[in-house]
Amino acid sequence: MKRYLISLDAGTTSIRAFLYDLDAQAFVHRAGQEVENSYPHPGWVEQDADEIYYKAAYVLSDCLRAAADGTVLGVGITNQRETVVLFDSETGDPVYPAIVWQCRRTSAFCASIPKTDAQRIRRKTGLLPDAYFSASKIKWVLENVPAARELMKQGRLRAGTVDAYLIWKFTEGKTFCTDYTNASRTMLFDLRALDWDEELLAYFGVPREILPDARPSDAVMGEMKLGKGRVPIAGIMGDQQAALFGQACLGAGDAKATYGTGLFMLFPTNGPVFSESGLLTTVGRADGGKVVYALEGSVFHAGSGVQWLRDEMGLLENAAESERLAASVADTGGVFFVPAFTGLGAPYWDPDARGLLCGITRGTRKEHVVRAVLESIAYGARDLAECLGRDGGALLRCVKCDGGASANDFLMQFQADVLGIPVDRPVERESTALGAAYMCALALGYTDEREIARSRRSEKIFTPSLNRTRYDGLYAEYRAAVSRALTR
Ligand code: ADP
């Protein structure tokens, strides 16, 4: 009889379920559904919370069918972070569409938060006041949706991140809880006390009663009906933290970098470390009675630059072609690209900066431009690595990569060269889903951290060039290009 777990990845653009064979330590089946995003006003991003639930249930059933030769022993969940769902605890009906992390509707409010308040928020939550996080989104619904206020008066309103909403639905209203990694992205959660913070709750006007219980990532959250039986829901983590765990970055020293639309780098630290360079402090995971913190840096645009070359510039047939074109020239011929399509994130935090292509000569060819776009992704990671080096208190030894653009060998080699450390690409690049499967296995006692560390397999390790002078020089030129794009 085979032993399976299901890892549910409720992402921003899709909901996917992965059937994990505990003995083979591998995914043996996967199912996915696209999630629709709507943009009712410029800068606003919403999703239908019911759709998230129905599609999650659908992909779970698909995996269950594929597990007919064995038993499903548990379900782990990883999810898009910060996105909030407010719903009626009697009917389960959402009172408003899910407000997605990318939604900027509260940016004016967040920009108006005085510096002294921002510092207090930062010290407690590890986050910078920004529309990205959940607190101001919940506040917005409470202020703008009369039905939400009415339900709140009646004690029926609940507000949670996607994990909490799904757990509530799956347990048929028996459990309303979240894990510390998700809670740490709300801007209402005290990183050290590991609890909702009264002062912040009052600041954002969010009553504690409407929020889920926050528990460790390895808590058994409840039981759900799956087919004819019932299985535990255990192992809950925000997507970036799950990827960190899925890459077996268990302690300080190794970072993971996810090269998708944007670039997300996370680095486990010994205790919460507060960055001086614009990185965020977050809960990396909480299991076995301990909490591992992490520093996180995000660059908003990475693979999206490649999409832009394909869709808007017409320079590429597909993203993969960028590799061949970039490798066909020895360098960019002095061209640099700054991918500030919607401003610059860490470490610059300049929302008004815009993209820049510079160093163009009469001899510049499309291959040079494509290469400059790929190189800019690697320079973005170097920016983050420099911050980690300054703030992280541990030397970065290696970067474990995943995400769509990590398939690009040219980019990964250039990344190793620019960082001066190895870049390690795993066999299983679905690190997020793998992290939730690992956490589920850990929660239910089927594995331990030592086994997780052993089970990660490298597909390819890109070793850095010895020519540090060349790559440091290129990076310095990139920084000069960034300084021309900055508005302050
Ligand atoms: P997300 O999860 O953010 O949607 P994915 O991890 O699916 O992103 O990666 C998709 C992104 O990676 C796209 O922006 C695409 O342009 C880029 N990408 C995919 N394959 C390659 C490649 N071979 N070379 C460079 N970029 C790529």
Q: Each residue of 177-186: pLDDT tens digit? A: 999 999 999 9
| CA–CA dist 479, 456 (Å, integer) | 35
Question: Across 150-164, 257-271, 331-345, which has the greatest mean pLDDT?
Answer: 150-164
Ranges of H-type helices in 84-197? 107-111, 115-125, 134-144, 146-153, 162-170, 180-183
Of 68-82, 293-307, 406-420, minimum mean pLDDT range = 293-307
Q: What are the domain boundaries of the chain?
A: 2-237
Determine phi and psi for 264, rounding to 5 degrees.
-120, 125
Ranges of H-type helices in 23-133? 49-66, 107-111, 115-125
Whether 404 lines ligand 1, by a CB cut-off of 6 Å, is yes
| CA–CA dist 407, 301 (Å, integer) | 17
What is the CA(401)–ligand 1 centre distance, in A?
A: 13
Mean pLDDT, to the nearest integer, of 429-457? 95
Whether 303 lines ligand 1, by a CB cut-off of 6 Å, is yes
Determine phi and psi for 6, rounding to 5 degrees.
-115, 130
Q: Is the pLDDT of residue 394 over 80?
A: no
Whether 402 lines ligand 1, by a CB cut-off of 6 Å, is no
| CA-angle at 176, arms to 67 and 97, nearest 5° | 90
| CA–CA dist 130, 187 (Å, integer) | 9
Tokens of 168: 């509530």
Whether 304 lines ligand 1, by a CB cut-off of 6 Å, is yes
Tokens of 439: 């956490």
**Of ligand 1's atoms, which has the minimum distance to the CA of residue 307?**
16
Which of 216, 244, 218, 248 lies closest to 233, judged by CA? 218
Please report where in the chains the tokens 């690209």 appear, as a residue: 337
* pTM attached to this predicted model: 0.92
Question: Strand, coil or helix: what is 119?
Answer: helix
Cβ-contact 318, 401 below 8 angstroms: no
Mean pLDDT, to the nearest integer, of 295-315? 91
Q: Are strands 46-47 and 70-79 parallel, antiparallel or unpaired?
A: unpaired
**434-459 burial: b if 16+ Cβ within 10 Å, else e:** bbbbbbbbbbbebbeeeebeeebeee
DSSP 8-state assignment for residue 226: E
Cβ-contact 179, 284 below 8 angstroms: no
Q: Give the chain's end-to-end CA distance (angstroms, integer).
A: 62
**Of 13, 30, 247, 259, which is best to mutate to test ligand 1, by the most ligand atoms within 8 angstroms of its C-beta?**
259
Query: Residue 308: which H helix or E strand, with range?
Result: helix 303-311
**Of ligand 1's atoms, which has the minimum distance to the CA of residue 306?**
16
Confidence of residue 140 (pLDDT cuts 50, 70, 90): very high
**According to the model, what pLDDT value does residue 361 have?**
97
Percent of the chain residues topping a pLDDT of 70: 99
**According to the model, what pLDDT value does residue 97 have?**
97
Q: Is the pLDDT of residue 386 over 80?
A: yes
**Of 261, 322, 325, 434, which is best to mutate to test ligand 1, by the most ligand atoms within 8 angstroms of its C-beta?**
261
**According to the model, what pLDDT value does residue 248 have?**
94
What is the CA(73)–ligand 1 centre distance, in A?
A: 33
CA distances 298 to 187, 346, 374, 383, Å, are 17, 6, 17, 10
What is the CA(408)–ligand 1 centre distance, in A?
A: 9
Whether 260 lines ligand 1, by a CB cut-off of 6 Å, is yes
**According to the model, what pLDDT value does residue 335 have?**
98
| CA–CA dist 244, 240 (Å, integer) | 6
Q: Report which protein residue has its CA nearest ligand 1's atom 9.
A: 404
Q: Is the pLDDT of residue 133 over 90?
A: yes
Provide the sign of the torsion angle of the four alpha carbons 163, 165, 169, 174, taken in this order: positive
What is the CA(116)–ligand 1 centre distance, in A?
A: 39
- Indicate the angle between helix axes 146-153 and 134-144, nearest 10 degrees: 90
Percent of the chain residues topping a pLDDT of 90: 83
Which of 285, 480, 290, 298 lies closest to 403, judged by CA? 298
Instruction: Please provide the CATH number assigned to the domain covering 2-237.
Output: 3.30.420.40
Query: Residue 454: which H helix or E strand, with range?
Result: helix 449-455
Question: Strand, coil or helix: what is 369?
Answer: helix
Provide the sign of the torsion angle of the four alpha carbons 346, 347, 349, 352, taken in this order: negative
Q: Report which protein residue has its CA nearest ligand 1's atom 23.
A: 320
- Is residue 347 reached through a cis peptide bond, with omega within 30 degrees of 0 on the bond before it? yes
CA 166 from chain center: how many Å?
18
Q: Report which protein residue has its CA nearest ligand 1's atom 21.
A: 405
What is the CA(88)–ligand 1 centre distance, in A?
A: 37
C-alpha neighbours within 13 Å on the C-beta side of residue 29: 18
Question: Strand, coil or helix: what is 332?
Answer: coil
**Of 408, 412, 414, 429, which is best to mutate to test ligand 1, by the most ligand atoms within 8 angstroms of its C-beta?**
408
**According to the model, what pLDDT value does residue 10 have?**
95
Mean pLDDT, to the nearest integer, of 138-163? 96
Mean pLDDT, to the nearest integer, of 72-91? 96
Cβ-contact 134, 164 below 8 angstroms: no
Q: Is the pLDDT of residue 362 over 80?
A: yes
Mean pLDDT, to the nearest integer, of 458-486? 96
What is the CA(395)–ligand 1 centre distance, in A?
A: 28
| CA–CA dist 233, 10 (Å, integer) | 14
What is the CA(258)–ligand 1 centre distance, in A?
A: 10
Confidence of residue 393 (pLDDT cuts 50, 70, 90): low
Q: Report which protein residue has its CA nearest ligand 1's atom 25.
A: 405
Whether 322 lines ligand 1, by a CB cut-off of 6 Å, is yes
Whether 320 lines ligand 1, by a CB cut-off of 6 Å, is yes
Question: Strand, coil or helix: what is 319?
Answer: coil
**According to the model, what pLDDT value does residue 392 have?**
65
Whether 261 lines ligand 1, by a CB cut-off of 6 Å, is yes
Cβ-contact 387, 347 below 8 angstroms: yes
CA distances 377 to 336, 341, 483, Å, are 11, 13, 16
**According to the model, what pLDDT value does residue 12 have?**
87
Whether 321 lines ligand 1, by a CB cut-off of 6 Å, is no
What is the CA(142)–ligand 1 centre distance, in A?
A: 36
Per-residue model confidence as pLDDT tens digits over 10-67: 998 899 999 999 999 999 999 999 999 898 988 888 999 999 999 999 999 999 999 9
Q: Taking all residues of the chain, what is their mean pLDDT, rounded to a whole number?
A: 94
CA 144 from chain center: how many Å?
28
What is the CA(415)–ligand 1 centre distance, in A?
A: 16
